[in-house]
Amino acid sequence: MPGPVFCSGETVDLCPVEKDDLEFFRDAMNDPDVRPNLGSVTPYNMQMEEDWFENRVCKGDDVKLVIVADDEPVGNISLNGLDEHHGHAEVGYWVAPDHQRNGYGTDALRTATEYAFTERRLRTVMAKVFEFNEASAKVLESVGYERAGTLPDWGFVDGKHHDVNLYAVTADEWP
């Protein structure tokens, strides 16, 4: 069972990442339905997940959270590259395939963005999405993010280069 609730949305809770979550993360990060959307080419084992936990979760400035629905981990959402001086961060998220199409990603994104603006006093939150990941683009747009541009041939997935679309929302535009 995930750790304590840090903040809650309508259908999900966002909880701090605990060591007990690492097996779930490892399995999802290796899932062929998750990996391409993240641009991941590395096969993850438990030692790698533990190193990530020790060096990025416990010591880093990023905000790493487990998306939890019905007391079960269903995904991950993070605010990366947090720059409180300039007031921006990049959001990244994924939902495990067995839990997709339930609105969990949308609720987690809305909740994490609200946290970024109200509790961290950020001005802008951005996201990068491979052009082929239409589901993630729809999630971003559904909560108020707008496409801000494209990085041509920015990512290499499944043997070819792909454009990466940039999305952003500012505190002034936030609903």
* pLDDT for the residue 1: 60
Residue whose entry in the numeric block shows the structure tokens 């589901």: 135
Give me the pLDDT at residue 24, please.
96
- The pTM of the full predicted model, rounded to 2 decimals, is 0.94
Confidence of residue 156 (pLDDT cuts 50, 70, 90): very high
Second-level CATH architecture of 7-170: 3-Layer(aba) Sandwich (3.40)
- Residues 128, 125: Cα–Cα separation, whole Å: 11
pLDDT of residue 59: 86
Domain regions of the chain by residue span = 7-170
State the CB neighbour count (10 A cutoff) for residue 13. Answer: 21
